Structure 1
Amino acid sequence: MSVSGKTAAIIGGGVIGGAWAARFLLNGWDVRLFDPDAEAERKMAEVLGNARHALPMLYETALPAEGTLSHVETIADAVTGVDWIQESVPERLDLKHKVFAEIEAATGVQTPIGSSTSGFKPSELGEGAVNPGRIFVAHPFNPVYLLPLIEVVPGPGADLGVIEKAEGLLRSVGCYPLRVRAEIDAHIADRFLEAVWREALWLVKDGIATTEEIDNAIRYGFGLRWAQMGLFETYRIAGGESGMAHFIAQFGPCLEWPWTKLMDVPELTDDLVKQIADQSDAQSGALSIRELERLRDNNLVAMMRALKGQGAAVGKLIAEHEGTLAKPAADGALVRSVDRIVPVDWTDYNGHMNESRYGQVFSDAADAMMKLVGADTAYIDSGKSYFTVDSRIRYLNETLAGQRIHVDSQVLEGKGKKYRVFHRMKNEAGEELATGEQLMIHVDLTTRSSSVPEASVLENLEALAAAHARLPQPDPSEVL
């Protein structure tokens, strides 16, 4: 059984279905995948490879142990007894109805059935279903294993208990369920995308811009603003000190000007299709689709991690999800104070982790050791903490982006104001990459002077130090 004890059924293992499977697997769920495509296993393996590379880099701690992927022969084999069902078959309503009928024949009425559809409403999906109230739209964005937004659209007569259960399950795997208030064609996000797509087609057809120039206008300009503030918050700032009302008063009249052609669509003639395809090939054809996916994922990881550092937008969501992941425990053995993947933004021009990030790893290890004895956020907010006053790092081997690393920490001294810890950083093969040692002194944050910890923290520290004193000690050449 998976670490989470939960299983998801994925019906359809294409670009979207495969990425759904990866999101669940890497969050500790077991996954049963049904896809009649003879290439399904190969395609799923490639998508999962990209997901394994990218998703763990968002976090400062390890994700749960990966669940088990099973390729099954029938829909019934996939859905029987599972906790979540995600339908991601092609956008044909008759096919979806056939799939839902097979699902309902093999499952209970409380199992959520989400559809990845971007084109159909839940009332259309539920036509002819025995229990249409548990069929809803769960529309993701590619890559599903990285981008957290899921548009959740309940239909008329929806079972709100099932919908709320589904939203809780989505949050548990790091997603952001956005409840759409009413059925509407293309839901919310795709309506924006369609508007931008229409205008882009006209700009190419009319010879105003190439595909690359349009992409550059987005990625060097408003796309960066949208990534962390969205539309309305961006325009609120554009209104200056007077805010949104001033922005609308100033720029609202522009909406009556004939700037765009959003109500019309250019005819997609063979010539226009060839023009767009040729420009796209010239722009990106030097890279394979898998190489483009890897580039996309690396860029997304770096941007999302930057937002995480600011506690903003998607970064806040990642930090909240990270807070639900496993934490170190004090059991008398060495403490696994860090267990994580090295992210792409930690590497330098040599392709390996730079010196400052070794310090980051050991700083994170020290934070974990502080929390272990009770010097956590609440303790710091009360006006007490530990400051590092001396440290040493020994660099022993290269550490590369995408590697899983861990740190085992041992208390060398823990009494009074002193908290001295020794760390060993290793890769999955057990090869030692670096060691670190830190001497921390307890301080009163009001006076900024050394002080004795609170009794409960000191008791925890002394107990941990006594337990670690019975373990093999570092060689004298390794310590300060």
Structure 2
Amino acid sequence: MSGTAAIIGGGVIGGGWAARFALMGWEVWVFDPDPEAERKIAAVMANAERALPMLYEAPMPPRGAIRFVSTIAEAVAGADWVQESVPERLDLKLKIYRDIVSHASSEAVIGSSTSGFRPSQLQEGLPDASRIVVAHPFNPVYLLPLIELVPGVKTAPEAVDKAKEILTGIGMYPLHVRAEIDAHIADRFLEAVWREALWLVKDGIATTEEIDNAIRYGFGLRWAQMGLFETYRIAGGEAGMRHFLEQFGPCLTWPWTRLTDVPEFNDDLVDLIAGQSDEQSGHRTIRELERQRDDNLVAILHALKGREAAAGKLVLDHDALLRGPLGDGVPLVTVRRTVPVDWTDVNGHMNEGRYGQVFSDASEELMTHVGADRAYIDAGNSYFTAETNIKYLAETLAAEKFFVETRVTLGAGKKLRLWHEMKREADGETLATCDQFLLHVSLETRRSCPPLAHVAEAVERLAAAHGAQS
């Protein structure tokens, strides 16, 4: 699904929304009176265009255009989705919503990136508030999938359904928050952790770096895959959550935390926190930190994707939605993707083992194309690789786009031979080649045997079309 998105406010969050929509094939119209908005969004887009495609095996849709306009009316006219991401001032938001509602299509979903306001506050005084929802994202919007989707009392159910469909279509996870509450769900949780961290720094218990280390070296790794309650369920051992609660529940009454109190927010506290943060990370630019963050998120999501777990499962499912049929070209383009950052070695180029994965992925796409798909394998039949000969012809770097062209050079009985050429998308240079010989096998006997008739016929047709001699 693609369409037109209007982005009202082009800061860090608005820019992230623009990048997510554009990279998923949507046309994007941006309104932001900041004269630097175009430059700022271009910087966000550069990060997004490098990072997001690394998550997918499937080719990304053609990138949608991002255009900048001088009025809200121009931005929202004809838009399927309108996303407001202006500063957290209710008077400003209400003024903008009056303008949006006056000019947007009656079918458009109108979302707010607000982290604190309730949707009913945003709907107040509007002639038509039925399309307004809170759609609160997390930075970077182009990589993190969670969206807190909060309808107000005046929001139409069909607007919520449409919002879920659109958000899922661009690879995000809409968490339907059923009741309005200040700061929704995730930020209330984060605010509690943040408040306790401020006390630990103010009281001299820990520095900003020590607190960050406590998170990233410990429970943060568990939360990335299991969240909070599932983590504690395991902590209860074989008896599970009930035992955990019985064992650790009483400590909730102990005066460990200071969550009911707030440190005085004054210049001394700001200087203390800012000074420690500068000492911790001030030697690196924000752009350097963003790239490190994005590369690490890609690697983490990739690992979770390989295990079909947590946020990685979302990427895997969305990847499947992006896949299209191979068609009837000669040669067949069996792979079209971007080199993930976790595929590179200490030399900065793609590790040789990953070339094997690329060509394995190419052969699996070819197998699916001829009918030797997952169902065929589950029924006890498959092709096994018997021999490969890979030649490495040029360096392949992280974030480079490439494609693989595949020809069937032999398709006779149980024998299948493929010739793969991996090429850089930017200039068509051949990066590597692979001569791959496969045998059809029975998964029951683990011995070679002829393929079923429909697969054999498809292979023979391809071999003939690709100029092979059977």
Where on the TM-score scale, by shorter chain, does this alignment land: which range? over 0.9
Q: 1:457 Cα shift?
A: 1.1
Q: 1:474 corresponds to which residue? A: none
Aligned to 1:160: 157
Give the Cα separation in 1 of the matches to 2:457 and 2:166: 39
Counterparts in 2 of 1:39-438, with a 5 A limit? 39-428=36-425, 429-438=427-436
| Separation (CA, whole Å) in 2 of partners of 1:128 and 1:459 | 67
Amino acid at match of 1:439: F
* Aligned counterpart, 1:476: none
Give the alignment's Cα RMSD to 1 decimal: 1.1
Cα distance in 2 for residues equivalent to 1:332 and 1:48: 33
Contact in 2 for aligned 1:28/1:64 (Cα 8 Å):
yes
Distance change in 2, residues 1:416/1:355 (3 Å): same
Shift of residue 325 of structure 1? 1.0
Q: 1:46-65 CA distances to partner (integer Å, 9 max, x unpaired)?
A: 00000011101111122111
Gaps of 5+ in 2: none
Deviations 1:193-224 (A, max 9, x none): 00000000000000000000000000000000
Q: Report if aligned partners of 1:328, 1:368 keep a CA contact under 8 Å in 2.
A: no
2:86 and 2:267 map into 1 onto residues whose CA distance is: 28
The answer to whether the 8 A contact 1:11-1:75 is kept is yes
Cα pair 2:410 2:468 within 8 Å, conserved? no
Which residue in the other structure is 1:477 paired with? none
Q: Give the Cα–Cα distance (whole angstroms) in 1 for the partners of residues 168 and 412 of structure 2.
A: 41
For residues 399-453 of structure 1, what are the alpha-carbon distances to aligned partners after superposition, in whole Å with 9 as ceiling and x for unaligned?
Answer: 1001001100001011211111100011021111100011111111111111111
**Once the 2 structures are TM-superposed, how far is the Cα of residue 328 of structure 1 from its aligned partner?**
4.3
Deviation at 1:454, TM superposition (A): 1.3
- Count matched residues: 468
- 2:147 and 2:173 in contact (8 A); partners too: yes
Percent identity between the two aligned chains:
65
| TM-fit CA distance, 1:332 | 4.1
Check conservation: 1:64, 1:326, Cα contact below 8 A. no
> Following the alignment from structure 2 to structure 1, what is the Cα–Cα distance between the partners of residues 366 and 355?
17
The amino acid across from 1:56 in the alignment is P
Check if 1:447 corresponds to 2:445.
yes
Alpha-carbon distance in structure 2 between the residues aligned to 1:274 and 1:66: 43
Are the counterparts in 2 of residues 30 and 69 from structure 1 also a CA contact under 8 Å? yes
Contact kept? 1:389, 1:441, Cα under 8 Å: yes
Aligned-partner Cα distance in 1 for 2:383–2:76: 51
Q: Does the 8 A contact of 1:109 with 1:131 survive in 2?
A: no
Structure 1: gaps spanning 5 or more residues: 472-480
Q: Does 1:18 align with 2:12?
A: no
Residue aligned with 2:29, SS: strand
Distance in 1, Cα, partners of 2:186 & 2:162: 23
Normalising by structure 1, what TM-score? 0.96
4+ residue segments displaced more than 2 Å:
none
Scaled by the length of structure 2, what TM-score is found? 0.98
Larger CA deviation: 462-471 vs 436-445 = 462-471
The alpha carbon displacement at 1:322 in A equals: 0.1
Equivalent residue number for residue 458 of structure 1: 456
Q: CA deviation at 1:388?
A: 0.3
Cα distance between partner residues in 1 of 2:376 and 2:96 = 54
Q: Aligned equivalents of 1:263 and 1:439: distance in 2?
A: 67
Secondary structure in 2 aligned to 1:324? helix
